[in-house]
């Protein structure tokens, strides 16, 4: 039975930390851009005191620049920004890791974009798999040279299992500890199929990039309890929902817009998080908007982390998990998760 960890992503300053001990995911283009960014990241880490700190290479920043039609440089001898142009290499990733000393570093990758048609997905994979293989191999070599004590996860930029087989046949021989996978392009059945594929390849540690969808969290918690040694998840939904004055339900993480004292009364009183339990409904509703958003951020993070923890604890019991899902997922989602578990354990 493995461990599950939920890390807060997208935090840029100490003021938005949800708690005194917050597990963090930072990315290289933000945390390692220059000396100022590095010092800010060090202050953030000092205050957060994370039990787990993951350093992501910054593939998402590459994806954003690519979607804007921007040029991306690949020169390890130059800074990460050259006249406003993103310049990102495995050397930049490991140089940042040598300063910040994360528990896990994710190798550099060029993310695949969301594509509707099979032929377009295949073309997108083929356009990027060579550079993703090269980046994985270079990052793995640099990690072994400078930071062999830090865990390395190889990013999976694939739409299908056969594509993963192509990628992993080229990189699986290098020293690494696990894989990291974005799941924005897949449904629950596909996620379960990838989990099964990872298990069959002997992969014991997995990081899930950027999700807060309850069905994905439930399946990931089950996988941590019954399949892998380690599953970590990062997300920013807790923060973005708070910016829109939205409150995540402690029961099923559904999003509720706080519009009135009456609405607060029906939702707020059921929450036992340390932030809601020490304020009355009326006190919360009449907070200034800035303070209310901070309160919602802290609440949303806590209930998301707690949701994952409780789901994991229940999965470890190996009995009654199906009934637990009925209470924590909206129908028919609980049935979808049970079907996905059957894919993982046929």
Q: Write out pLDDT tens, residues 220-249.
A: 999 999 999 999 999 999 999 999 988 888
Structure confidence at residue 120 (pLDDT): 96
Q: Write out pLDDT tens, residues 327-342.
A: 899 888 889 999 999 9
**By C-alpha distance, which of 4, 6, 5 is closest to 300?**
6
Take residue 167 and report the two structure tokens written for it.
Answer: 């990628």
Please say whether the beta carbons of 206 and 179 come within 8 A: yes
What is the Cα–Cα distance from 337 to 218, expressed in whole angstroms? 7
Structure confidence at residue 277 (pLDDT): 75
Q: Is the peptide bond before 157 cis (omega within 30 degrees of 0)?
A: no
| Candidates 3.60.15.10, 3.20.20.105, 3.40.50.1860, 3.90.1170.50; CATH matching 3-182 | 3.20.20.105
φ and ψ of 257, to 5 deg: -80, 125
Q: Write out pLDDT tens, residues 135-172.
A: 999 999 999 999 999 999 999 999 999 999 999 999 99
Please say whether the beta carbons of 233 and 217 come within 8 A: yes
């Amino acid at each position: 039975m493995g461990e599950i960890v939920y890390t807060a992503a997208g935090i840029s300053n100490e003021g938005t930390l949800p708690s005194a001990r917050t597990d963090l995911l930072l990315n290289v283009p933000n945390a390692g851009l220059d000396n100022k960014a590095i010092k800010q990241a060090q202050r953030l880490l000092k205050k957060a005191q994370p039990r787990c700190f993951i350093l992501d290479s910054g593939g998402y920043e590459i994806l954003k620049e690519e979607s804007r039609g921007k040029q991306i440089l690949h020169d390890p001898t130059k800074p990460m920004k050259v006249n406003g142009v993103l310049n990102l290499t495995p050397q930049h990733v490991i140089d940042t890791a040598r300063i910040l000393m994360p528990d896990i570093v994710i190798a550099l990758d060029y993310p695949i974009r969301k594509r509707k048609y099979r032929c377009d997905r295949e073309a997108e994979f083929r356009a990027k798999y060579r550079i993703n293989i090269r980046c994985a191999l270079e990052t793995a070599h640099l990690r072994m040279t400078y930071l062999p004590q830090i865990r390395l996860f190889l990013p999976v930029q694939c739409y299908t299992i056969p594509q993963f087989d192509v990628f992993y046949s080229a990189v699986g021989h290098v020293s690494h500890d696990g894989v990291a996978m974005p799941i924005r392009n897949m449904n629950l059945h596909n996620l379960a199929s990838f989990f099964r594929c990872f298990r069959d390849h002997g992969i014991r540690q997995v990081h899930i990039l950027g999700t807060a969808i309850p069905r994905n969290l439930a399946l990931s918690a089950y996988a941590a309890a019954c399949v892998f040694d380690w599953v970590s998840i990062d997300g920013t939904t807790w923060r973005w929902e708070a910016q829109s004055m939205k409150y995540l339900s402690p029961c099923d993480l559904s999003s509720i817009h706080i519009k009135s004292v009456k609405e607060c009364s029906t939702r707020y009183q059921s929450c036992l998080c340390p932030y809601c339990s020490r304020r009355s409904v009326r006190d919360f509703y009449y907070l200034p908007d800035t303070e209310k958003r901070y309160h919602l951020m802290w609440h949303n993070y806590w209930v998301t982390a707690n949701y994952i923890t409780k789901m994991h604890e229940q999965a470890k019991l190996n009995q009654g998990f199906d009934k637990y899902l009925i209470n924590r997922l909206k129908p028919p989602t609980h049935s979808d998760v049970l079907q996905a578990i059957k894919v993982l354990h046929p």
